[in-house]
Structure 1
């Protein structure tokens, strides 16, 4: 099975971030990284449950917190939970593309669907100067991040446009070229950030992410050296032999 065929067998929400709830520890790390403070107006786009909003209000005491999600059941349940805890916040059942976010100073935005990210980029560009948009894994389309603590990325208005994908990739990883160690380190950071303690296959996910990072870097011309590292070759063979997942077609594209 080709790696792209394997990825297609996974639920779409796993790949897009939809319905994947960030652990509370990760939410706190994100808020500390972005410097969330009392005078901030915080928006969580695609909030799912109320945890991000609750932490922003209770622990970081933001001036205003707004959660937006198009899942009616989740929003109603989140409203109920916040009411029971007597936490003042605004929850909207809306499509993020239709939402008014004009007063935001900090936005948490975890979407990978290009049809959404490209449209939202236009909305973000209209926000007031110094508004921060936190993304996970990658920056906003064609943008150079303002600050990175991988997998968390701060994009700040007005955005700095990348000359090309190579410049954007190197800005995210903070290195001149991507080798196996860099790919593994960043894949592991991502897996730990989005995973819960109950996850048993985090090493499997880390291997897949490592190979995807390195191969993409190779295709963009920013991998270290011309040859495929022995470690990468070993994991490609392991995935083929043990799991029937073939990365070779991705290398040849």
Structure 2
């Protein structure tokens, strides 16, 4: 099956990110990366549970923390958990497209839905100067990142526009071209950063991410060399033979 068909076999809430929660270590890495502190007003869009908000308040001492999610059950439980710990924060049940972000200085925004991203980009264009938006895996569409510690990326308002996708891709990886080693290293960083310590299929996920990174680089003309690296071809064959997941067609498009 094609990789897209494989992804369609996964639960919808997993693909949408609805039930994907960042581990505590990831929040700590993100907050240190963005230099979150006492002068910041922090927004977590799609907060799910209260863990990120709790850490922002307790460990990083932000001036104000706001979590927004459209899942009322999760928001109600998060409110209850924070109240029991006597932690003051704003938890709002609404679609993030309806959120008001005018006072934000730092925003955590981890969404893959293209429609949501495009809607939020309209809001982000009106943010106050120097507001930092943290994304995971990729920067905001058509924007050059201000700071990268992959998979964590910061875009700062007003945004810097990339000349093309090649410029954007290379700005993320910090190299002149993407080879197998670069693709593997960054795929592994992503898997380890967002995964829990108990994750059992991290190598499988790393292989998939590596192939996605390299093939995208190839299609954009920023892969190193004209030939398919032996390691890439080996993993393409493994995915096909052992898991019936096809990547080969992507190289022909």
TM-score by length of 1: 0.98
What's 1:96 paired with? 96
Measure, in 1, the Cα distance between the counterparts of 2:33 and 2:40.
Answer: 14
Distance 2:170 2:13 in 1: 27
**RMSD value over aligned CA atoms?**
0.8
Distance 2:38 2:97 in 1: 27
1:133 aligns with 2:133: yes
Q: Indicate if the aligned counterparts of 1:3 and 1:250 stay in contact, CA closer than 8 A.
A: no
Note the C-alpha offset of 1:83. Answer: 0.1
Unaligned runs of 5+ in 2: none
Residues in 2 aligned to 1:10 and 1:223: alpha-carbon distance in whole angstroms: 29
| Equivalent residues, number | 253
Question: What is the Cα deviation at residue 250 of structure 1?
Answer: 1.2
Q: What is residue 173 of structure 1 aligned with on the other side?
A: 173
The TM-score normalised by the length of structure 2 is 0.98
CA distance 1:101–1:88, shift in 2 (3 Å)? same
In 1, Cα distance between the equivalents of 2:93 and 2:76? 8
TM-superposed CA distance for 1:64, in Å, is: 0.2
1:161 aligns with 2:161: yes
Q: Deviation above 4 Å: which 4+ runs of structure 1?
A: none
Alignment of 1:40 onto 2:40 = yes
Residues 53-98 of structure 1, C-alpha deviation per residue, up to 9 Å, x if partnerless?
A: 0000000000000000000000000000000000000000010000
Offset at residue 12 of structure 1 (A): 3.2
Residue 59 in structure 1 maps to residue 30 in structure 2: no
Shift of the alpha carbon at 1:35? 0.4
Aligned to 2:245: 245
Instruction: Supply the distance in 1 between the matched residues of 2:18 and 2:168 (Cα, whole angstroms).
Output: 24
Residues 66 and 90 of structure 1 are in contact (CA less than 8 Å); yes or no, is this contact kept in structure 2?
A: yes
Give the SS at the match of 1:107. strand
SS of corresponding position for 1:36: coil
Separation in structure 2 between the aligned mates of residue 13 and residue 213 of structure 1, nearest angstrom: 24
